[in-house]
Structure 1
Amino acid sequence: MFSFDLSSISTALLHPGRQASGVDFSGKSLKLNTEDDAKPIVDAINACPDLQYLTLTGNTLGIPAAKAIAKALENHPELKSARFSDMFTGRMKTEIPPALAALGDGMIQAGARLSELDLSDNAFGPIGVEGLAKLLQSEVCSELQELRLNNNGLGITGGKLLAKALSASPKKLKVFIAGRNRLENDGAKALAVVFQNMGTLEEIAMPQNGIYHVGISALSDAFQVNPRLTCLNLNDNTIGPKGAAAIARALPKLKQLKSINFGDCLLKSAGAIALAKGLKDSSMPLQSLDLSHNEIGKDACMEVVDAISSSPDSKDRLTRVTLAGNSLGGAANKKVMKDKLGAAAELSDDEGSDDEDEYVSDSEEPSEGSDDDGSSEDSATEDAQHMDTVLDISDMLKTSDAHAVESNVGEFLLKPTIQNLEKLGSDGAVLIDTHLQAIKKPENLIQAYVEATCCVSGLSDQSPVAAVVARQLYPLMVQRASLQWLLTNELLKALQLIKSEDKAYRVRWYIPACYKVLASQIEEAYFPAPIRETLKFFISTKLPVLEADVKSVVEGYRNLYT
């Protein structure tokens, strides 16, 4: 997989003959606290006669530094692209709104007209939206085409505040990205109203947001009035059969839709059948469809295949159809599917058998108490969800079982050395697995499994025992993780692909060796496709700025990023 600078391409297309120019400090890991700290960036901005883009990704910005940069921006009305992702690591949440507001004020003073604003991977939560509101409501964003707010911890409150800010003045967005934000039904419904008034959206990506069918239905109504949609990603939300039926009603109006990702959305057979009907009734130029890990039975899978392969040009048009992790039936069934889909078929990770369709409970809708009374755990407010602090693994062990800390397993997890691991013998993975299951809270359990797996993986270069135990721990970790989005997040943190919000988070493992073990497991049948794709995306994106020893290892295992 290769990483393209889409905004630079867009700028070049909008201004033929004009070479995109700007200032790029991405990945420098600069800690910019004071005005003096920001001087290299300020000088670069002042020296750039045609500042079409400013990229500060991968640095950390305090209020005085932000104000200094903002002052420099006041002289650049030509600015089109502000790439401010991963820019506040280690900052207090009270620092972020003033810093964002200062940067916004600089662009407002300049009279700039942004086409792209990227603030992804900044954990500013609802309070951060308050710092953005003035900018989003200003003329600076009147021509905004791409808004990227992935992994910002917005929560329901942040989603509503964002919707309010976007509604203050007409917007003509083409791209809206807001994955991993816990928006849930209420946040999704608020944004759906905004989308209803746009009509210009071409790409919507809102994966891993805890949205159930009520929020999905509201979004589906908005999709219908955005007929230019080409890409739709709702991966790892709970669409369910009811949400699928709502989306199916919208599909015939989306005649330009090329890519659909509804992986890990608990569609079940009833939902897949509803989508199949919608796909069959539409004339969209579909190229990519992901319905992986949805508890879909073999007959329903076949209906989907029939629906998307019915047109004569389907084999030439389809590039990727992922049904892995569903019950596909026996070899004969899969051969029929492959014959109809051609090279686009991705049917691995099959959880079915030759004779049985194991997903038969299609009449049962997933539990959605949040849709009625807000009483389910999934629908709790972000404040309630974050009352419990994610503990350090040693603290988890102490609170789970005081005696376990004194055991060989506890000793290894507290002090992950080769000597302590080898005390566990050939059953190390089983012993660690049994030990960690004493942890009751899902978020603590998942963090503990990821950290234990990485502690073992980090020793794999030096110990054959560690290499074996690490490979055995991976499927156990996946099996125990009840929340795929959280497992993905913990793996990204452990591999240093995103930065942790927790200042106490410690990497206690040798990362290059961890990538080697991951490379041996990432294509295995048990490995969830959504997590695989997310890891590959982040690795490919971060590859140019990885530490030299990590980059060297990753480049030797192309399956990690292609």
Structure 2
Amino acid sequence: MASDDISQLADALSKTHVGDGELSYKGLGLKLDNEGSVEDLVREIEQYQGLRALRLEGNTVGVEAAQAIAKALESKDQLQRCYWSDMFTGRLRSEIPTALMSLGSAVMCAGARLTELDLSDNAFGPDGVKGIEQLLKSPSCHTLRELKLNNCGMGIGGGKILAEALTECYRHSSALSAPLKLRVFIAGRNRLENEGASALAKAFQLIGSLEEVHMPQNGINYAGVMALASAMRHNPELRVLNFNDNTFTKRGTLAMAQALRHLRNVQVINFGDCLVRSEGAIAIAAVLREGLPILKELNVSFGEITEAAALVVAQAVMDKPHMEKVDLNGNCLGEEGCEALKEAMENNDKGDLLGSLSDDEGEPDDEDDEEEEEEEDEDDDASDDCNEDEDDGEIVTGNGTPRKDNSPEKPQSSAEIVSFLSCPSAEKLLQLGETRTKLQQQVDASDPHKASEVLLNIASLYSEDQETKAAVFETIDAVLKKLLSGSDLQSYCFLSTLLVMMGLLKGEGKMKKVSLVPGQLLCLEHAVQQEYFPQHHASLLHIFVSKNSDALKPCSSAGERLSFTLEKMFNDQH
């Protein structure tokens, strides 16, 4: 080793922080190629009594150097934390697994019990995961609490290997009556995609102790998101969920919303740049209303959320006492929408919670709608059965909403009800007599599309004839009372689907909009004034009706009546 190299290393080591059980070579920029280049470093490790943490990040370590360091670690049985991120810069990818195997073998040989392992920013790919596979399966990782593998290029293959290793670690540790209790998992920018994410989801569901999950930028779409959502609900201590920059769309967002209903300790939700869109935003708002009591941060930025849906989210965070930040930047609010959102937050003394709206995309145009529908058509081709997740007596359907698999079957429909549903008419409705209220048995909030269709068909029969009007109102009341009696998530999903069919909300995929008739609006005007119709549901309708009045122009008089009634209810509330 040249004298100037020795001098450089000696100078670097003199700056090393040594104390509190930690030996740090962080950020020294050392080029450690062989055994000779690490002599002083090895000596310090060997002489350090009670070594509990070793920082090697920010240097570049070759195979021979790693083997020499590993030999020094073989006697360090108190080692708990390995900060080994960004330590293979400029190395051949083929070198990294060998170096990692050497270091991992040393930890196992020493009988150390790790609590934290950080290998982030090492572009080692699937082979690199193989390099730590045996370590992760070993008793040395039975005590692991934090695993950080950010920006490692693991890919689908690496994700599967990692999932298998964590699963085996959990099973072996459980057999010893001390199950793995992993708390923090970080694996952003790894190209895990659906297969890798789904494999890891199975491991997460088994482990059940996660408190933080960070998996941004992994190319995961709704199928992988749904698998992860199912796993998250089995980790009741979750505090932080970061899936930024993946692709949720409606199905993934509804599945995540369903998972969030089971979690009471979540403080940070980062679904930014995930194409949450308006229907997804409404579902998240529903969960905010009925749960998440200690939420501090919500990020649904860059999600193609429109003004009305953003206002629904804003309303839902008003009663969160611990809320610190709401990020709705980069959505499709438009200039007036941004002002309306700011005003709504400020009027409730929550203006300081709202993040910047400087990157708003402006109101979407019709061309954007057509492109999105084509994009979603590909998703709709998949069978809903392929996307069901049976769990704890619930099934999350392809549209993300739950239905009970143990609920009693619907009673056999009478021939008259079947006839009415197949071809509704006022005459058939009147002929049903008292049995018309049984129509509510034919609707289910877990199938919001069918429920909306039935409701609109009944409402379209409205007329000023007193007998017909009374029959229609009676039936509408029975149907809506059932549909709005479940969880806020189910009722919000139903209402958002209803709004899409009425043309008041931009939806995803192929959902046929109805040609509105006055009776449908007049039935809604009647319904929102009934006791079974919660105020916050009426408030949701008020937002969309007031922001999309053009869609109601074909039924101007009935539309005005509905708008007036909702506006009056809104003003009375405030």
Please state which band the TM-score falls in when normalised by the shorter chain.
0.5 to 0.7
SS class of match (2:77):
coil
In the alignment, the residues of structure 2 paired with residue 368 and residue 284 of structure 1 have an alpha-carbon distance, to the nearest angstrom, of 36
Contact 1:296 1:359 in 2 (8 A): no
- For the structure 1 residues 60 and 114, does the alpha-carbon distance in structure 2 shift closer, same or farther, using more than 3 Å as the test? same
Could you tell me how far apart the structure 2 residues matched to 1:116 and 1:248 are?
30
Counterpart of 1:326 in structure 2 is: 331
Q: Does 1:229 align with 2:234?
A: no
Equivalence for 1:298: 307
Q: Which amino acid aligns with 2:224?
A: G
Name which one, 1 or 2, has greater alpha-carbon Rg.
2
Give the structure 2 partner of residue 26 of structure 1.
26
- Answer whether contact 2:185 2:214 (CA < 8 A) is retained: yes
Q: RMSD of the alignment, in Å?
A: 2.3
Does 1:336 pair with 2:336? Answer: no
Asked if structure 1 preserves the Cα contact closer than 8 Å seen for 2:273 and 2:302, the reply is yes
Q: Does 1:211 align with 2:216?
A: no
Give aligned-pair identity as a percent. Answer: 47
Instruction: Please list, as runs of the form range in 1=range in 2, the aligned pairs for 1:232-271 lying within 5 A after superposition.
Output: 232-271=241-280
SS of 1:277 mapped into structure 2: helix
1:159 aligns with 2:159: yes
Q: CA deviation at 1:70?
A: 0.7
Write the letter of the residue equivalent to 2:186: I
SS where residue 255 of structure 2 aligns?
A: helix
Offset, 1:322: 0.6
The Cα offsets for residues 14-42 of structure 1, whole Å up to 9 and x where unpaired, read as xxxxx832210011111111111111221
Correspondence for 1:144: 144
Q: 1:77 to 1:205 in 2, by over 3 A?
A: same
User: Shift in Å at residue 359 of structure 1?
Assistant: 7.5
Matched, 1:110 2:119: no
Structure 2 residue matching 1:50: 3-state secondary structure: coil
Offset of residue 275 of structure 1: 1.4
Question: Match for residue 199 of structure 1?
Answer: 208
Correspondence 1:366-515 to 2 at 5 A: 366=375
Determine helix, strand or coil for the equivalent of 1:161: helix
Measure, in 1, the Cα distance between the counterparts of 2:377 and 2:118.
Answer: 33
Shift of 1:351: 2.6
Distance 1:350 1:91, change over 3 A: closer
Q: Equivalents in 2 of 1:239, 1:366: separation in Å?
A: 13
Contact kept in structure 2, 1:268 and 1:359, CA below 8 Å: no
- Distance of 2:186 and 2:230 partners within structure 1: 18
What CA distance in whole angstroms lies between the structure 2 residues aligned with 1:255 and 1:118?
28
What SS does the corresponding residue of 2:209 show, helix, strand or coil?
A: coil
Q: Which has the higher contact order (CA 8 A, sep 6+)?
A: 1
**1: distance between equivalents of 2:225 and 2:353?**
27
Corresponding residue for residue 69 of structure 1: 69
The 2-side partners of 1:212 and 1:273 are apart by 19
Q: 1:149 to 1:249 in 2, by over 3 A?
A: same
Contact 2:186/2:215, CA 8 A, preserved across alignment: yes
Using the alignment, how far apart are the partners of 1:368 and 1:151 within structure 2? Answer: 32
Contact persistence 2:310–2:341 (CA under 8 A): no
Q: Is the 8 A contact 1:294 1:325 kept in 2?
A: yes
Structure 1 residue 67, shift from structure 2 partner: 0.9
Say if 2:338 and 2:357, in contact at 8 Å, map to a contact too.
Answer: no
- Per the TM alignment, residue 370 of structure 1 is displaced from its structure 2 partner at its CA by 9.0
5+ residue gaps, structure 2, are: 1-18, 171-179, 383-574
Q: Where do residues 182-193 of structure 1 align in structure 2 (5 Å cutoff)?
A: 182-193=191-202
Secondary structure, in 3 states, of the residue corresponding to 1:147? strand
- Where does structure 1 lack aligned partners over 5 or more consecutive residues? 1-18, 374-562
The two structures have a TM-score, normalised by structure 1, of 0.60
Give the partner amino acid of 1:339: N
Task: Check conservation: 2:141, 2:169, Cα contact below 8 A.
Answer: no
- How far 1:348 moved relative to its partner? 1.8
Task: Give secondary structure in 2 for the equivalent of 1:204.
Answer: strand
1:347 deviation in Å?
3.8
SS of equivalent to 1:307: helix
Q: Structure 2 vs 1, CA of residues 106 and 350 (structure 1 numbering), >3 Å: closer, same or farther? A: closer
Per the alignment, do residues 43 and 335 of structure 1 end up closer, same or farther by CA in structure 2, a change over 3 Å counting?
A: same
- Distance in 2, matches of 1:163 and 1:202, equals 17
Checking the alignment, whether the CA contact within 8 Å between 1:53 and 1:80 is kept in structure 2 is yes
- Secondary structure of 2:37 counterpart: coil
CA deviation vs aligned residue, 1:496-546 (integer Å, no higher than 9, x gap): xxxxxxxxxxxxxxxxxxxxxxxxxxxxxxxxxxxxxxxxxxxxxxxxxxx
Tell me by how many angstroms 1:254 deviates: 0.9
Q: CA deviation at 1:60?
A: 0.9
Deviation at 1:283, TM superposition (A): 3.6
Change in Cα spacing, 1:54 to 1:365, as seen in structure 2 (3 Å) is farther
- Cα pair distance change 1:68/1:293, threshold 3 Å: same
Is 1:85 the counterpart of 2:94 in the alignment?
no
Amino acid across the alignment from 1:292: S
Equivalent position amino acid for 2:329 in 1: A
One-letter code aligned to 1:321: V
The separation in 2 between residues aligned to 1:284 and 1:165, in whole angstroms, is 35
Cα 1:352–1:110 shift into 2, 3 Å: closer
- What is the SS of the residue equivalent to 2:36? coil
Q: Which residue of 1 aligns with 2:291?
A: 282
| Distance in 2 separating the partners of 1:272 and 1:358 | 22
Distance 1:274 1:355, change over 3 A: closer
Distance 2:90 2:380 in 1: 36
**Deviation readout 1:366-392 (Å, 9 max, x if unpaired):** 45969989xxxxxxxxxxxxxxxxxxx
| Cα drift, residue 338 of structure 1 | 3.5
Counterpart of 2:35 in structure 1 is: 35
Deviations 1:175-204, CA, capped at 9 Å, x for gaps = 000000000000000000000011100000
Structure 1 contact 338–345 (Cα < 8 Å) conserved: no
Does structure 2 conserve the Cα–Cα contact (< 8 Å) formed by 1:235 and 1:263? yes
Opposite residue 156 of structure 1, the aligned amino acid is I
Amino acid at match of 2:270: N
**Range with bigger deviation, 265-274 or 135-144:** 265-274
Displacement of 1:358 in angstroms is 10
1:76-125 C-alpha deviation (Å, 9 max, x unpaired): 11001000000111111111111000000111110000000000000000
Partner in structure 2 of residue 119 of structure 1: 119
Contact 1:34 1:65 in 2 (8 A): yes
Q: Does structure 2 conserve the Cα–Cα contact (< 8 Å) formed by 1:206 and 1:234?
A: yes
- Stretch of structure 1 that moved more, 298-307 or 201-210: 298-307
CA distance, structure 2, for counterparts of residue 370 and residue 122 of structure 1: 34
Cα distance in 2 for partners of 1:350, 1:63 equals 47
Q: Deviations over 1:316-339 (max 9, x none)?
A: 511111111113315234211343
Instruction: Judge conservation of contact 1:104–1:135 (CA < 8 Å) in 2.
Output: yes
Shift of 1:166: 1.1
